[in-house]
Amino acid sequence: MPTAYHHGARVLETSDAPLALPIVSTAVIGLIATATDADADAYPLDQPALLTRPQVGLAKAGTKGTLAASLQAIADQVTCPVVVVRIAEGVDAEATTSHAIGGTNAEGRYTGMKALLGAEQRLGVRPRILGAPGLDTKPVTTALVALAQQLKGFAYASCADCATVSDAKLYRKGFGARELMLIWPDFTRWDTVKNVEAKAQTIAVALGLRAKLDQQVGWHRVLSNIPVNGVQGIDKDVYFDYLTEGTDADLLNEAGVTTLINRNGFRFWGSRTCDDGDFIFESYTRTAQVVADTIGQGVFEYSDKPMHASLVRDLVESINDRLRSLVRQGFLLGGHCWFDPALNATADLKLGKVAISYDYTPVPPLEDLTLRQTFTDTYFADLAAAVTATNNA
């Protein structure tokens, strides 16, 4: 309150409108890659480096390892922020796997993929679309899932070294996380260095397409059934027919593996995660993450303010306003926030604790469409009537 003497009136401008909760940014890729000939200043080992445009980042990415090919595959799909962590290649595949997983060094810095944990504080962005194209052995994918859970992100990985549909289905049984989508087999592309058709960085294609969908449609749209750029084939035979049950594509999708098809362009086909519970769809997981982070981080400004009833009402209304907005935009089917007195005992309120409840319903993808076709003789009568009418004319 003013303390200086004044004979008159003062106007103190305030706002009692509920805070608007901003939606968290999701189209940020976290990429783990190797490149022994990359520019060490642009891509320091075991440190997150931010690219605002992946195509520009190619200039200093070198040609060896997985970095350049991954950046090109992403750039073919989208222009978005990419946080790159370049790791050292090991003396063998096992050592490279260990480098990719990383840990904490003697200086207290994160290494390998764990360097992405420090990206938000160092670079101002949080990677939420995660992958290690060409490096995603089973141990790397396992570590990537844990990282995705910490960052509230989503990981894409290949079915490492799987040669058949049965191999891929069996590989999928080794995972049970809602934050992971497994993909099999691989796209192919034209290698301009070796001048031959070669295996593409399929996971990098998925990362780029996921970011593109986040930008142009939203995180509620699944990766499946969208044409991709920069690929020219599929490296394994996958039997797919849109109107036939029991195909290779059906078997893989039912098992929770996304596959690849060629139908009016090359596409990913499959929407499922490695979760066998409620979060079976990629969009369910990402919706849960975005809603939780949007509301959880959005109420930061309410913390430590005097907890009058008006503050709690404003908090509830802020959350309801954001939920209504997400429903209007088609990101949710519904959502509601409320204050439940039964969850807010006097002893808790005395300690500055308040519990706010909210629910939401995500938008499911149309995965299984049934079209009912019936043979009928009804319209033969129309034919006969038309013939009779013509004869009488």
Q: Residue 3: what pLDDT?
A: 62
**Is this structure's pTM higher than 0.85?**
yes
Helix, strand or coil for residue 29? strand
Q: pLDDT by residue (tens digit) across 70-102?
A: 999 999 999 999 999 999 999 999 999 999 999
- Cα separations in angstroms, 180 against 3, 136, 212, 256: 59, 12, 18, 10
d(CA 152, CA 136): 19
Q: Residue 5: what pLDDT?
A: 72
The residue ranges of DSSP E strands in the chain, in sequence order, are 29-34, 48-51, 82-87, 129-131, 154-158, 180-183, 187-191, 196-199, 233-234, 257-262, 266-269, 332-339, 356-362
Residues of the chain with CATH 3.40.50: 29-284
Confidence of residue 312 (pLDDT cuts 50, 70, 90): very high
Q: Is 11 exposed, middle or buried (0-12, 13-18, 19+ CB in 10 A)?
A: exposed
Q: Residue 386: what pLDDT?
A: 86
CATH architecture, domain defined by 29-284: 3-Layer(aba) Sandwich (3.40)
For residue 185, say if its preceding peptide bond is cis, omega within 30 degrees of 0.
yes
75, amino acid identity: A
Q: Residue 19: what pLDDT?
A: 59
Q: pLDDT by residue (tens digit) across 203-241?
A: 999 999 999 999 999 999 999 999 999 999 999 999 999
Sign of CA dihedral 205, 210, 214, 218: positive
- Stretch 187-192: mean pLDDT, rounded? 92
- Stretch 37-45: mean pLDDT, rounded? 97
Between strands 154-158 and 332-339, the pairing is unpaired
pLDDT exceeds cutoff 90 at 336: yes
Least confident among 20-29, 265-274, 335-344, 352-361: 20-29
From 288, 235, 245, select the one nearest 266 (Cα to Cα).
235
d(CA 9, CA 294): 41
pLDDT exceeds cutoff 80 at 250: yes
